[in-house]
Amino acid sequence: MPTTYYIVLSFVLFLIGTAGVLVRRNALIALMGIELQLNGGNLAMLAFSRELGDLKGHVFAFFIIALAAAEAAVGLAILVALFRGRQTVNLDEATLLKR
């Protein structure tokens, strides 16, 4: 398949992820949106990597997956800490730094 199709799919995936982060109140689902965004980026990396016949894109996608694992671990830990302190995972109620 032409690279263009893969790039459009990666846009769509990134957009869905962004919508999830912006619109959802549940912090867990916002984190899932971030994972979708990272996967959209990965897909673009791999598509261009095949287009150019260069394996560097694969290496960067590998790094992004490792980064996503670290991000998920720390993000979920923050969620657990938030839940301990405020008894909520609602992002609209986590306003401690606003005041």
The site for another protein (CB under 8 A) is made up of 1-9, 11-13, 15-20, 22-26, 28-29, 31-33, 35-36, 39, 42-43, 46-47, 49-51, 53, 55-56, 58-59, 61-63, 65-74, 76-81, 83-84, 88-92
Q: Residue 33 or residue 98: which is nearer to another protein going by CB?
A: 33
What's the closest the beta carbon of residue 99 comes to another protein, in angstroms? 19
26 phi/psi in degrees, rounded to 5: -70, 120
For the chain, first and last CA: distance in Å? Answer: 52
Cα(6)–Cα(23) distance, integer angstroms: 26
What's the closest the beta carbon of residue 51 comes to another protein, in angstroms? 5
What's the closest the beta carbon of residue 98 comes to another protein, in angstroms? 15
Cα(89)–Cα(99) distance, integer angstroms: 19
